[in-house]
Amino acid sequence: MTKALLKWADLFPGCPVLVVGDLMLDEFIFGQVSRISPEAPVPVVEVQRRSYVPGGAANTAANVAALGATPSLAGLVGADANADHVRDLLRTLGVNVGPVVADPARPTTTKTRILAGTQQVVRIDQERPSPMSAEVEAALLDAVRRALPAARACVLSDYGKGVVTPTFAAAVIALANAAGVPTVVDPKGVDYAKYRGATVVKPNQLEAGKVLNRDLRTSEEVDAAGRDLLTLLGPTTAILITRGPQGMSLFTPGGDAFHVPTSAREVYDVTGAGDTVAGTMAVTLAVGGGLEAACQLATAAAAVVVGKVGTATCSLAELRAGG
DSSP, res 278:
H
pLDDT digits (tens, 9 = 90+) for 253-267: 988 999 999 865 555
pTM for the full predicted model: 0.94
* Distance from C-alpha of 59 to C-alpha of 30, rounded to nearest angstrom: 21
Four-point Cα dihedral 314, 270, 190, 285, nearest 10 = 20
Indicate the burial class of 111 (C-beta count within 10 angstroms; 0-12, 13-18, 19 or more).
middle
- Please name the fold of domain 3-25+53-109+127-322: UDP-N-acetylmuramoyl-L-alanine:D-glutamate ligase (3.40.1190)
Q: What is the pLDDT of residues 64-100, one digit of tens each?
A: 999 999 999 999 999 999 999 999 999 999 999 999 9
Residues 272-293 pLDDT 10s: 688 999 999 999 999 999 999 9
Is 40:255 a contact under the CB 8 Å cutoff? no
Question: Would you say 8 and 293 are in contact if contact means Cβ atoms under 8 Å apart?
Answer: yes
Domain boundaries, the chain: 3-25+53-109+127-322
Question: In this predicted structure, what is the pLDDT of residue 266?
Answer: 56
Mapped onto helix, strand or coil, the DSSP state of residue 23 is strand
**For residue 268, what pLDDT band results from cuts at 50, 70 and 90?**
very low
Active site residues: 275
Q: In the predicted model, is pLDDT for residue 38 greater than 50?
A: yes
